[in-house]
Amino acid sequence: MRIMQVDIYGFGKWVDASFSFDQGNYIEISGDNESGKTTLRQFILYILFGLKPKPLAAYMPKQGSALGGRITLTDIYQVPVTVERVRGKQGVKVYTTDGEIFDENWLNQRLKGMTRDQFESIYTFTAYELQQIQQIDNQALQEVLLTIGMIGSDRIYQAEKNLSKQADELFRPHGKKPVINQQLQHLAATHQQWTNAREKEQGYRAKLEAVETMEERHKELQQDKQQAEARWKQVEQWLIHDKLIRDYYLTTKQLDRYPENLHFPSLGLDRLQEWKEQLLPLQSEEQVIRNEMEEIENNIEEIDLLTNEELEELEQEVILQQQQYEQQETLRQLDQQITEQRREWTTTLQQLQLPISSAEVEQLELPFYLEEEWTDLATQYDKLEMERQYLRNDNQSAVRVLKDHEETKKQLQLEQLSKEELQAYQADIQAWQEAAASSRQRQKLDEWNQAFDQQKRLSLLIMGGGIILAIALLFFTDWVWSVVLAVLSVCQYAAFHLYGKTMAQWLAPEQTMTASLSNSEIEARKEKLVEQEQLQTKIQQLDKDIQQQKMEQLKSSERIRFIEERMEQLEQRMAGYQKQYPFLQSVSFVYWPKLYQQLRSLKDRADKTVALRLEREALREQLDNVEWEGDPVAKKQEERRKQELQQQLQTRRDSLESKWTNNQMKQKPYYHEIQQLLIEAGAESEQSFIEQGERYQRYHTLQEEQQQLSDSLRMVFTEEELQQVQAGEFAEKHILQTEQTALRQTMADIEEQLQAQQAALSDEKANLTMLEASEDTSLLKHRMAEEQDELDQTVQQWAIYQVALHKLTQAKASYTEKYLPKVLEAGSRYFSRFTLQRYRRILLENDQKIIVEDSQGYWFEISALSRATQDQLYIAIRFALSHVMTERLAVPFLIDDGFVHFDPNRRAEIIQLMEELSKDHQIIYFTANPTAAAVIRLE
């Protein structure tokens, strides 16, 4: 099983937090103290196994979120599952990626029934457990490690220790302080006191039996009294509710006369009455519609209309008359328009102040292209004028810029040095550079001469040695070798001397030059030469700019001349238009396009006025030739009125017919419902239906009365008594009164007997009290019985402890035989690695005591080990147990800062071991000392 994802809704400090564990099987989670590591580990345990309400309250989130969350697991089912647990919801929910949902029982089955205690015993440990293990002695430490090797925790040792302690506190064979020993002593003393008291009071038993007999008789009398009182109260209730009982009986008998299955529609009479009331206005409306339809039919028959031929003739007359009226109106409008046009002419001409008459306007010719030509003429002239002005301004600016460039050039020329000064500066710099080069060459020659002198001395030594050796060889060997050696020695010296002379001539400077200027003066001359070069560059650029400005000025002058020629051509065209239209002479050419629009408007009005005059003359001729007889319009209006009246009446009739149809449709459901009521009730008519309904209402009223009476009586009588009343099995009132009187007398007699019995019983008890004044035998017996019971319970508890110890010893022996060798074998491997091979085995001595063997074969008890080594032994056994248990169920191993006492080498070794063990099952390590393997860091 592996944890892949942790999502926390709210748990302690964590609210809406998520952690992914898909980086591998070994997950290291690091963080400072109070960063939430232990809270995250507790959350994982809570989701898997839950937690009791009291300890769970400590993890209630402070920000009001729901306490809980979910964990995604793999290798627990055929597909990944998500386990969700939220406080307040019933149990845990398990969701699979296939959409299946399981409960907590399914999760327990998948965990092989493992509980939280078992998980914490095997698959988790903390630094706190390591601290606890250091606080016990050597023998106890042996037992703890043995039990840890068995189930992964010291709980067996703690349980065995507690059981032994509790058993010794209860009983010891030769002790005095244990509880059972003290109880045996107290019981013996009490028994002796009881024996002595019994011998002194031989008659106590007889008196005690007499008191018991009298108390039994007293109880019998009280029971008789209670029975009589109960019967008296019962009779009293029957008398009080006699009227209700008789009404209930009579109502029941009346209901029995009705058939068992009396059926009638629910609220049948009310529904019938409601539907009849709703039908009444519809029936009234139907009668009103019928009367109105008859009246409309009579009115339609009384209307007399013209035939179609008469209507056509009348229509033609109306059209002709209407045309005449329209022509007269048109003539009047024409006169008005002509007058209006003439007035507008006069006003427009006065506003324009042009020397032109209305007749000239009518004869005026204005082609369609004239406006465009005038607009183009004015636009071109304005554009040319603006361009000429712009060029003139540019020309003036160019003159100013040219003047500025020439003045700047003059200033720069004044700053330039003469040619002789420049040549002198350059000569000084060149001489300084040659002197510097000669100095460097001389320095190189000096260095070479020093090296050559050393080599020359060496060559001289070689030559001397060679000659001496040659002389020696002359005496001891052939003279040829002596001569060859002497010649070679002299030749190498001669060659080396010639080489030195040649190199000295080659390296020697041509002439010795001395620089008369300092370095600062040379640098100043170099800067001056650079400045002069920059000045020369600026002057050259200014010459180019001046030449460019002159070219631009020349181009501008040429463009101005071209524009002026173009403007003269436009002025000639303007003169041609002024000759063709003399009135243009008094108007600037700029306003000619606007003037064209005004002239065009005047021309259109003039043309329109001429057309109106022609149209007016034609209409007058038509009107003079037309004459009318009668008033066809009035006839047509009358006929139209009759037609509209007939149409209104027909429309009204159609509307009434539609209303009548709707009225019938509205009535139909009510008739249908009434008929269904009659069928449901099995009535042939409404009268028989009403009779059945009234009978059913009476039956229902009796049922309600019976139910009310029954509810009242059930508060006093039982169900059996009510059934007797229904059957008429109840006594008459006078019989109950007689019985009540007899019961009252019986209760008085019993009361007298009780008083007499109570007095006798008091006397006997007084006698017993006198006997019990010193030391009561019964009290001693009772005390002895109580002490015996306490002793029995204590002995039973002591026996339980003994059985538990025996069973625990058997379980340890069985586990030691079956699993402990595997655990110790795996633990030995881990312990050897933790201690860097210093210890190699963990052994069990006499099946009771754990010892360790070092690399040299020596055995050591646990107490002889250091604290850190004891921790390593403890952790090795825990890892070994989890490895053995992996064969049964591989679940994640949770470690919370369990290596605080490890040195860096051993800590690195255990980290590597955890990474290896994580191949079999997931390991999640919480630490405040992160390593490079940390994948999650908590803030």
**DSSP-assigned letters across all residues of 410-439:** HHHHHHSPPHHHHHHHHHHHHHHHHHHHHH
| Spatial separation of the C-alpha atoms in residues 259 and 237, rounded to whole Å | 34
- Give the number of C-alpha atoms closer than 13 A to the C-alpha of residue 335, restricted to the C-beta side: 8
Backbone angles phi, psi at 581, to 5 degrees: -120, 90
Cα torsion 730, 736, 738, 740: sign? positive
Residue 154 confidence (pLDDT) = 46
What is the phi-psi region of residue 632: left when phi exceeds 0, alpha when psi lies from -120 to 50, beta otherwise?
A: alpha
| Spatial separation of the C-alpha atoms in residues 238 and 721, rounded to whole Å | 10
Nearest to 576 by CA among 560, 600, 592, 594: 592
| Spatial separation of the C-alpha atoms in residues 508 and 494, rounded to whole Å | 21
Quick one: which H or E segment has residue 841? strand 839-845
Q: How many CB atoms lie within 10 A of CB 398?
A: 19
Residue 265 confidence (pLDDT) = 76
DSSP 8-state secondary structure symbol assigned to residue 65: P
Residue 260 confidence (pLDDT) = 67
Q: Return the residue matching tokens 């006191």.
A: 193
Cα torsion 907, 911, 916, 917: sign? positive
Instruction: Name every residue whose Cβ is closer than 8 Å to that of residue 276 and which is 6 or more positions away in sequence.
Output: 670, 674
DSSP 8-state secondary structure symbol assigned to residue 66: P
| Spatial separation of the C-alpha atoms in residues 65 and 63, rounded to whole Å | 6
| Spatial separation of the C-alpha atoms in residues 212 and 207, rounded to whole Å | 9
Nearest to 906 by CA among 834, 829, 832, 838: 834
Q: Return the residue matching tokens 């109950």.
A: 736
Residue 5 confidence (pLDDT) = 92
Positions in the chain whose pLDDT score sits under 50: 135-142, 144-146, 148-154, 512, 774
CA dihedral 152, 154, 156, 158 (to 10 degrees): -170
Residue 57 confidence (pLDDT) = 85
Q: Return the residue matching tokens 């009780």.
A: 754
Instruction: Name every residue whose Cβ is closer than 8 Å to that of residue 430 and which is 6 or more positions away in sequence.
Output: none
Beta strands, E only, 713-829: none
Residue 81 confidence (pLDDT) = 92
Residue 397 confidence (pLDDT) = 80
Quick one: which H or E segment has residue 83? strand 81-86
Nearest to 43 by CA among 61, 25, 64, 30: 61
Nearest to 239 by CA among 743, 754, 599: 743
Residue 149 confidence (pLDDT) = 46
- Give the number of C-alpha atoms closer than 13 A to the C-alpha of residue 609, restricted to the C-beta side: 19
| Spatial separation of the C-alpha atoms in residues 169 and 183, rounded to whole Å | 13
| Spatial separation of the C-alpha atoms in residues 305 and 310, rounded to whole Å | 10
Residue 848 confidence (pLDDT) = 65
Backbone angles phi, psi at 288, to 5 degrees: -65, -40
| Spatial separation of the C-alpha atoms in residues 267 and 599, rounded to whole Å | 96
Question: 811: which 2 tokens?
Answer: 């379980």
Q: How many CB atoms lie within 10 A of CB 593?
A: 18
Q: Return the residue matching tokens 């005390």.
A: 783
Q: Percent helix, strand, coil in the chain (nearest 5)?
A: 75, 10, 20
Angle at 230 (CA atoms; ends 225, 233), nearest 5 degrees: 125
Q: For the segment 568-594, what is each residue's pLDDT rounded down to a tens digit?
A: 777 777 777 777 777 777 777 676 777
Residue 83 confidence (pLDDT) = 92
Instruction: Name every residue whose Cβ is closer than 8 Å to that of residue 327 and which is 6 or more positions away in sequence.
Output: 619, 622, 623
| Spatial separation of the C-alpha atoms in residues 404 and 395, rounded to whole Å | 14
DSSP 8-state secondary structure symbol assigned to residue 64: -
Per DSSP, the three-state class of 923 is strand
